[in-house]
C-alpha cells in the first residue's frame, strides 16, 4: 500500500466521517481509498421534480470529495426508475410518472448538479438504456434473488402492511432495478441517504449473483426541511440549489433556531473547529439571528458566490431589520375578488398544502396587507389602489399591482 501524505490522509478521514451515517464495509472501503486504486463511485438520482434541493446536495458534496481524490463518479440519471417510483421512506404508494414528465424534469437537472460536481470528469449514464431492454425472463431472474418476506421486512412496507394499506408489486421491483444499475456500471461504491439503505444493500446481493465483488456502501445524514420536518418539495420546506440568492438567504433566516448547528454541519463546509465554536456560542446565549446571518451567507456563497451573497444579506437587512420597503419588490398582481387564501396559494409556499393548512396559516397571523394583519382567509381587497406592501409568512414581501 502506497504511503500517503498527511493532506490526503486527512481528506480520506474526513470523507469517511463528515456527515456520514454508515459505511458498509468501512474497513474495506478505507483500505481501497488508501490503496491508490481509482474507484467507480455510483449515485443514482431520479428526476421526480424539476429542482434539486440542498438536502440532496449533502450526497453531491460527498461525491465531490471522492472526485477531488481522483475517483470516477458515475452518475446514474434514473430516467427509467423515475417512472416507476422509489418507495423508500414513503408512507403511501407513489404515483408513476410519464416519460414526458421525466423529460421535462430533466431539462435543468445536470446544470444544477454541475454546481457541485465537475461534470467534465463525471460519467453520466441513463438507466433507460439497459432497464428498458430487460425481457420478462431476465426480470424474473432478478426477482428470484429476493423473497416477499424480505421485502415486507423493509420498515415502510411493514408499516403499511400493518395498517392494511396497499403495496404495489412494482414497488418491490425498485430495489432490483437500482441494484442492477450497479451491475451494469460495475460500481465499487454506492452512495445514498439513510432512507436508501435497503436499496443499496440489495445492490450488493445482485452484484454477487452476477459474479461481481459487492459494492461498498456509504449513507449520508439527511438534512431536515426549513420547518423541522423531512425536507420535501411537496411541503414547500426546501432550499433549492437554483433558488435566487435573496430567496435562499430569506429561507435560512426563517428557519427554527434549533436547526442552526445541523445546517452549518450538513449544508456548509465549515470545519470542525468552527462548528464547535458555533455550538459553544449558542450554549453561552449568543443571538441566534447573528448566527443565522452567518449561516445564510455561507449557503448562498456556496451556490452563487460571495458577491451575490453579500447583496442578498444587505437586501434582507434593509427589508426585515430596517423595514425599508422603498426598494424593488416582486409584484403581486391583484385580481378582483381574490381572497387572502387565493393570494397565499398563488404567491406563498403552500401551493401543495391542504385548504385547512392554508386557513390555519392565515388565521395564525402570517399575512400582512400594508402593515396590518389579515386573519380572515376569505377577505378580499377590491379597494386596493396598487403599491401596497404584502407580507406572506416570515420572508416573502410583494408590492401590489392592479
CATH code: domain of residue 187: 3.40.50.620
In this predicted structure, what is the pLDDT of residue 196? 85
Q: Report the pLDDT value the prediction gives residue 151, as an integer from 0 to 100.
A: 81
Q: Do both 214 and 247 map to the same domain?
A: no
Domain that includes residue 304, residue range: 243-321
Q: What are phi and psi of 22, to 5 degrees?
A: -155, 155
In a domain, 308, yes or no: yes
Residue (of 351, 335, 319) closest to 49 by Cα position? 351
Q: What is the dihedral of CA 161, 165, 168, 169, to 10 degrees?
A: 30
Identify the CATH number of the domain in which residue 370 sits.
3.10.290.10
- Please state at what angle helix 169-185 crosses helix 136-143, rounded to 10 degrees: 100
- pLDDT for the residue numbered 357: 82
- Burial, 108: exposed, middle or buried (Cβ in 10 Å; 0-12, 13-18, 19+)? middle
Predicted local distance difference test score (pLDDT) of residue 90:
46
Q: Do residue 314 and residue 348 come from a single domain?
A: no
In the chain, helix, strand, coil percent, each to 5?
A: 50, 15, 35
Q: Angle at CA 84, nearest 5°, toward 111 and 180? A: 80
Instruction: Classify the C-alpha dihedral 238-18-111-202 as positive or negative.
Output: negative
Task: Classify residue 226: in a domain, yes or no.
Answer: no
45 within some domain: yes
For the domain that residue 298 is a member of, what is the CATH number? 1.10.240.10
In a domain, 155, yes or no: yes
Q: Is residue 294 domain-shared with residue 378, that is, in the same domain?
A: no
Backbone angles phi, psi at 142, to 5 degrees: -65, -45
In-domain check, residue 238: no
Question: Are 316 and 339 found together in one domain?
Answer: no
* pLDDT (0 to 100) of residue 87: 57
Helix axes 57-68, 6-17, angle to 10 degrees: 160
198 and 154 Cβ atoms separated by less than 8 Å: yes
Q: What is the pLDDT of residue 384?
A: 83
How many separate domains does the chain show? 3
| Domain assignment present for 237 | no
Write down the H helix ranges in 94-135: 99-106, 109-113, 128-131
Could you check whether the bond before residue 25 is cis, i.e. omega within 30 degrees of 0? Answer: yes
Residues 201 and 264 both lie in one domain:
no
Domain boundary among 321, 350, 366: 321
Q: Are residues 250 and 337 in the same domain?
A: no
pLDDT of residue 373: 85
Q: Are 136 and 44 part of one and the same domain?
A: yes
Cα 139 from Cα 127, distance rounded (Å) = 15
Query: Would you give the distance in Å from CA 204 to the centre of its chain?
Result: 25
Looking at the fold, whether 117 and 46 belong to one and the same domain comes out as: yes
Task: Let me know whether 102 and 209 are in one domain.
Answer: yes
129 and 173, same domain (yes or no)? yes
10-residue mean pLDDT series, the chain (402 residues): 81 94 94 94 89 94 96 93 64 62 84 94 94 92 86 79 81 88 96 89 93 96 91 83 92 91 96 93 92 96 96 85 67 86 79 76 83 85 82 80 71
- CA nearest neighbour of 67 among 35, 51, 43: 43
Residue 154 shares a structural domain with residue 17:
yes
> Is 229 within the bounds of a domain?
no
Task: Tell me the H-state helices in 20-98.
Answer: 26-35, 57-68, 81-84
232 lies in a domain? Answer: no
C-alpha cell recorded at residue 301: 456563497
In the structure grid, which three cell numbers stand for residue 351, read together? 401551493
- Sheet holding 72-77: strands in order across? 20-24, 216-220, 189-193, 40-45, 72-77, 122-126
Cα distance between residue 268 and residue 248, in whole Å: 13
For the chain, how far is it from start to end, CA to CA, in angstroms? 72
Q: Are residues 192 and 132 in the same domain?
A: yes
Amino acid at each position: 500500500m502506497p504511503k500517503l501524505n498527511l493532506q490526503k490522509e486527512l481528506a480520506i478521514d474526513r470523507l469517511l466521517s463528515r456527515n456520514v451515517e454508515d459505511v458498509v464495509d468501512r474497513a474495506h472501503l478505507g483500505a481501497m481509498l488508501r490503496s491508490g486504486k481509482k474507484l467507480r463511485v455510483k449515485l443514482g438520482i431520479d428526476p421526480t421534480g424539476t429542482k434539486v434541493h440542498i438536502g440532496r446536495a449533502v450526497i453531491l458534496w460527498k461525491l465531490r470529495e471522492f472526485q477531488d481524490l481522483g475517483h470516477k463518479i458515475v452518475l446514474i440519471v434514473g430516467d427509467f426508475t423515475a417512472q416507476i417510483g422509489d418507495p423508500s421512506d414513503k408512507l403511501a404508494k407513489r404515483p408513476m410518472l410519464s416519460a414526458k414528465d421525466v423529460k421535462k424534469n430533466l431539462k435543468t437537472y445536470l446544470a444544477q448538479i454541475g454546481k457541485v460536481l465537475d461534470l467534465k470528469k463525471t460519467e453520466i449514464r441513463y438507466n433507460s438504456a439497459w432497464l428498458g431492454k430487460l425481457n420478462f425472463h431476465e426480470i424474473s431472474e432478478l426477482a428470484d434473488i429476493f423473497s416477499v418476506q424480505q421485502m415486507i421486512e423493509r420498515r415502510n412496507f411493514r408499516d403499511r402492511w400493518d395498517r392494511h394499506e396497499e403495496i404495489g408489486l412494482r414497488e418491490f421491483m425498485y430495489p432490483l432495478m437500482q441494484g442492477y444499475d450497479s451491475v451494469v456500471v460495475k460500481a465499487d461504491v454506492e452512495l445514498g441517504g439513510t432512507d436508501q439503505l435497503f436499496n443499496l444493500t440489495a445492490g450488493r446481493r445482485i452484484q454477487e449473483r452476477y459474479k461481481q465483488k459487492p459494492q461498498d456502501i456509504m449513507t449520508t445524514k439527511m438534512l431536515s426541511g426549513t420547518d423541522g420536518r423531512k425536507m420535501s418539495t411537496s411541503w414547500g420546506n426546501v432550499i433549492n440549489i437554483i433558488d435566487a440568492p435573496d430567496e435562499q438567504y430569506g429561507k435560512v433566516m426563517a428557519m427554527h433556531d434549533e436547526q442552526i448547528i445541523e445546517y452549518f454541519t450538513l449544508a456548509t463546509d465549515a470545519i470542525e473547529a468552527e462548528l464547535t465554536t458555533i455550538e459553544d456560542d449558542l450554549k453561552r446565549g449568543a443571538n441566534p439571528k447573528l448566527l443565522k446571518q452567518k449561516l445564510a451567507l455561507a449557503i448562498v456563497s456556496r451556490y452563487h458566490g460571495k458577491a451575490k451573497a453579500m447583496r442578498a444579506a444587505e437586501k434582507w437587512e434593509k427589508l426585515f431589520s430596517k423595514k425599508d420597503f422603498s426598494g424593488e419588490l416582486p409584484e403581486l398582481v391583484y385580481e378582483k375578488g381574490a381572497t387572502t387564501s387565493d393570494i397565499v396559494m398563488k404567491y406563498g409556499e403552500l401551493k401543495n398544502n391542504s385548504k385547512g393548512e392554508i386557513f390555519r396559516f392565515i388565521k395564525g397571523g402570517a399575512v400582512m396587507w400594508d402593515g396590518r394583519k389579515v386573519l380572515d382567509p376569505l377577505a378580499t381587497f377590491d379597494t386596493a389602489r396598487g403599491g401596497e406592501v404584502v407580507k406572506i409568512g416570515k420572508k416573502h414581501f410583494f408590492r401590489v399591482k392592479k
